[in-house]
Amino acid sequence: MTMTRRHRFRAAEKYLAMADDFLEVGFYQDAIDYYRKSIKSFPTAEAYTSLGWVYVHIGDFDQAIEFCKVAITLDPEFGNPYGEIGACLVEMGQSDEAAYYLRRAILARNTDDAHLAYYNLGRVWESRQNFSRAIHEYSKALEIDPAFEPARQAYYRLVRMLN
């Protein structure tokens, strides 16, 4: 990495960290501004995915999906944008397309949030009334993150319903 490129990368990392902090406290416009600064300095799949995540928070699923698709072009092995797209599509009631993206998130080499992809895949199966497959996906989410409460609640709700 040349010095200029290294400098741009470091600036992008700083902007990304600041944006993450703004997102954490709910300052969405500030988060958007700093994710954009990060991308302008040095575009990364992580920054585009995080920018998409802000748009999820403000309810603009279409924009979130577009940013996550850019992230995928930058790093097709980064699973998080696939998972974000899948989660958006679940919320939009597009379960067939959601399942495709959620499976891609699970199979990606670099996925931070596989438990979320399994959970959302469980939601897809539950919406199709395939409760045994939904339970299986929820249990996979809990294998990865036993403290993930939404998966735990969904799992036990379906187990109780089927007994």
Q: Would 106 be classed as within a structural domain?
A: no
**What is the residue range of 10's domain?**
1-84
List CB contacts of 27: < 8 A, sequence separation 6 or more.
Answer: none
Q: Would 118 be classed as within a structural domain?
A: no
- Predicted TM-score (pTM) of the model is 0.92
Q: Would 54 be classed as within a structural domain?
A: yes
pLDDT of residue 53: 95
d(CA 82, CA 32) in angstroms, rounded, equals: 20
Tell me the per-residue pLDDT of 107-146, one tens digit each, with 9 for 90 and over.
999 988 899 999 999 999 999 999 999 999 999 999 999 9
Q: Would 131 be classed as within a structural domain?
A: no
d(CA 163, CA 62) in angstroms, rounded, equals: 39
CATH number at residue 47: 1.25.40.10
Q: Would 107 be classed as within a structural domain?
A: no
pLDDT of residue 154: 98
Q: Would 11 be classed as within a structural domain?
A: yes
Note the helical H segments in 25-148. Answer: 28-41, 45-57, 61-74, 80-91, 95-107, 114-127, 131-144
pLDDT of residue 30: 97
pLDDT of residue 150: 97
The answer to whether residues 150 and 119 touch, using CB atoms and an 8 Å cutoff, is yes
Q: What are the Cα distances from residue 53, in Å, to 20, 111, 147?
A: 10, 15, 22
pLDDT of residue 112: 86
Q: What average pLDDT does the structure give for the chain?
A: 95
Q: Would 38 be classed as within a structural domain?
A: yes
Domain count, the chain: 1
Q: Would 100 be classed as within a structural domain?
A: no
Q: What are the Cα distances from residue 125, in Å, to 14, 98, 130, 158?
A: 40, 11, 5, 12
pLDDT of residue 5: 86
Which portions of the chain are predicted below pLDDT 70? 1-3
